[in-house]
Structure 1
Amino acid sequence: MPASLVPAALRYAEQVARSGSIQRAAKDLNVAASAINRQVLQLEETLGVPLFERVAKGMRLTPAGDALVTLARRWMADERRTAAELRQLQGVNQGHVRVVAMDSHVNGILPALIADLDARHPRISLDVEVASTDAAVAALLAGDADIAAIFNLSPRRDIHVLWSAELPFGCVIAPDHPLASRGSISLQEVVAHPIVLQSRALMIRRYLEARHGWLFTQERKTVETNSLQLVKILAREKGYVAFTSELDAAPELIAGTLVFRPVRDKGAEPQMVAIAMDGRKPLTRVGRIVAEALEGLIGSTIADVRRAGGREPAQ
């Protein structure tokens, strides 16, 4: 295939939108700024509408520009998918897959995924982005990602779940924490101890506020952070209780530096981890290879965590 079947004007406009200015787009594309500016101006003249607002700090999309760039990104994603399919028709598992995952997948699962693909499918390359559930869904629907590993995905017609697994709702604590001797714990027992909360950008925090809002109605010893690493350090070293899933702390649970205790309160619903794709488009062969590898690694990690905790893996 040629370098690109998508017209240069659309590719340049998309990069200006991504980079925020013509100068930065020129640097990112290694193309003269004058060439990019000329193409954007010609595109605006052809369409008869301004695509960008020229502001002091760069370029900002107009509503018309936003619609056009969305189309350009869809075409570019379709082009990448078609190129991969053509290579696969030649019997070669070669291509590029864009994966969005959660912060908890960085420790263990994502490095293992990369190592597995390096060993079994060295011609498959990855683009990995760490994001929240909301951002992961947005990336799938915008064509910026092929597959996503997502926590607590809400059902949607335009998102297709390839695989999912339930995770009990619970807490992680240090092995010597007063609550560690219990097989399960109640929320009333938890609030007697310092609590570290993940930020409101994460689904588990929204779940707590929606289902157990009383936890936030009184003055309690709490720390709030968007850093999963800080959450685990405070639980491991400072006596805090952290509401989270088994996957969030999988390396520490397997190593025994943290323990997981499910919450036994009535109505404590399980969390869910899912591997999903844009339901409006087919997934390429290499995309399915990556999705299946990711499924296997997440599943085996959950099994390892439960063995380490003395529980049988879920069947």
Structure 2
Amino acid sequence: MQTTALRYFLAVARDGTIAAASNRLNVAPSAISRQIANLEAELGCPLFERRPRGMVLSQAGELLARHAHQVLLSAEQVVTEIQELEGLRRGLVRIATTEAFAIDLVPGVITAFHARHPGIRFELSTLPPGLVTQRVAQGEADLGLTFSLEPSVDTAVAYRASLDMVALCAPDHPLAVRSLIGLSDLAAYPVALLPRDTTLRTVLDAACAAEGIAIEPVFTSNVLSAILPFVRDTRGLTLMSSIVLQGEGWRDAFRVLPIRSDRSLARGIEVQTMRDRRLPRAVEAFLAALVAALPPSPER
């Protein structure tokens, strides 16, 4: 059973169609179909249920997927151990994170790490919180940085802390001179927010309900980078965790306002790794750099 066939099989399992897997892998659909057909012939059973809207793993496919993840990780581990004979001159770090941390924080850590170890390569994926954890648990990402309302049970947690939510506005906003605002202040201005199925909205909506305050956003987007220009160029506000924007350029573009609330506006953040996996040296070194860039954790 070749690792190439297993890699193509897992791509189809994740993307749901051969066409989608072909686009992501940059491999001809016929090559992917042939490898999957060879696997099914070798195992003597179908690995997918072909449905009108895509391909879903069969029971046998589910079993093979669990095995395939381990096989590919073992193969990668051998390559990694050989590369580690050269120290931190070579290696790959695959990071999955929510968009909030991909705007400024993680790229900043990557930039500083690259200056010290220019031979290390990075892959950064931006995903919803649940998918970050899933990618790490399945070995498709080495590290995950994500928001969480409860500690992860599917991964090992290398770091966990709680971060307060703050409001963000333009420097000339009427509230920009305030050192502290309340939830009722937010309701008096246009607010741009992430959708309701995010951890931010879960925490914010509970706090507003506790105070009997209704905040109806005028702009909702699942892309934080789309919200920031709206806030910068209007009298609008948005909410995010306190460490999302750390660079000097961001400090000039926005004002950060702490929020007073009867109910906690804190969310948990986690740095996650695959359970029971020995991390490659490059990943371990970057993990240490990433944790050092985060606020000290009382849970460590």
Tell me which residue corresponds to 2:18.
Answer: 21
Tell me which residue corresponds to 1:88.
Answer: 84
In the TM superposition, residue 88 of structure 1 has moved relative to its aligned partner by 1.9
Conserved in 2, the CA contact under 8 Å of 1:26 and 1:33? no
Conserved in 1, the CA contact under 8 Å of 2:195 and 2:221? yes
Q: Is 1:130 aligned with 2:133?
A: no
Q: Deviations over 1:110-143 (max 9, x none)?
A: 4333333332222321111011211111111121
Q: Which amino acid is the alignment partner of residue 119 of structure 1?
A: A
Larger RCO (CA within 8 A; separation ≥ 6): 2
Selected match of 1:242 from 226, 229, 238: 238
Say which SS state the counterpart of residue 256 (structure 1) adopts: helix
| TM superposition score normalised by structure 2 | 0.82
Selected match of 2:65 from 64, 69, 80: 69
Larger mean CA deviation between 50-59 and 145-154 belongs to 50-59
Say which SS state the counterpart of residue 72 (structure 1) adopts: helix
Q: Is 1:281 aligned with 2:274?
A: no
Uncovered stretches (5+) of structure 1, i.e. residues with no partner: 301-315
Say which SS state the counterpart of residue 61 (structure 2) adopts: helix
Tell me which residue corresponds to 1:231.
Answer: 227
Mark the CA change 1:253 to 1:170 in structure 2 (over 3 Å): closer, same or farther. farther
Conserved in 1, the CA contact under 8 Å of 2:80 and 2:91? yes
**CA distance, structure 1, for counterparts of residue 19 and residue 108 of structure 2:** 38
In the TM superposition, residue 75 of structure 1 has moved relative to its aligned partner by 1.9
Say which SS state the counterpart of residue 264 (structure 2) adopts: coil
**CA distance, structure 1, for counterparts of residue 20 and residue 288 of structure 2:** 41
In the TM superposition, residue 178 of structure 1 has moved relative to its aligned partner by 2.4
Q: Which amino acid is the alignment partner of residue 57 of structure 2?
A: L
Tell me which residue corresponds to 1:162.
Answer: 158
Mark the CA change 1:47 to 1:245 in structure 2 (over 3 Å): closer, same or farther. same
**CA distance, structure 2, for counterparts of residue 233 and residue 197 of structure 1:** 13
Selected match of 2:184 from 188, 192, 199: 188
In the TM superposition, residue 264 of structure 1 has moved relative to its aligned partner by 1.4
Q: How many residues align?
A: 295
In the TM superposition, residue 56 of structure 1 has moved relative to its aligned partner by 6.0
Larger mean CA deviation between 89-98 and 146-155 belongs to 89-98
Q: Which amino acid is the alignment partner of residue 33 of structure 1?
A: S
| TM superposition score normalised by structure 1 | 0.78
Tell me which residue corresponds to 2:218.
Answer: 222
Q: Which amino acid is the alignment partner of residue 70 of structure 2?
A: R
**Paired residues for 1:205-216 under 5 Å:** 205-213=201-209
Q: Which amino acid is the alignment partner of residue 77 of structure 1?
A: L
Q: Alignment RMSD, CA only? A: 3.3
**CA distance, structure 2, for counterparts of residue 59 and residue 220 of structure 1:** 39
Conserved in 2, the CA contact under 8 Å of 1:97 and 1:125? yes
Say which SS state the counterpart of residue 172 (structure 1) adopts: strand
Q: Deviations over 1:19-63 (max 9, x none)?
A: 6227964994757936x5454334324433211234567644323
**CA distance, structure 1, for counterparts of residue 99 and residue 30 of structure 2:** 36
**CA distance, structure 1, for counterparts of residue 29 and residue 192 of structure 2:** 50
Mark the CA change 1:24 to 1:148 in structure 2 (over 3 Å): closer, same or farther. closer
Conserved in 2, the CA contact under 8 Å of 1:107 and 1:251? no
Tell me which residue corresponds to 2:30.
Answer: 33
Conserved in 2, the CA contact under 8 Å of 1:136 and 1:148? yes
* Percent identity for Structure 1 against Structure 2: 26
Conserved in 1, the CA contact under 8 Å of 2:98 and 2:127? yes
Larger mean CA deviation between 247-256 and 283-292 belongs to 247-256
Q: Deviations over 1:183-242 (max 9, x none)?
A: 211112221222111123421112123343368985846321112123222222211121
Tell me which residue corresponds to 1:311.
Answer: none
Tell me which residue corresponds to 2:257.
Answer: 261
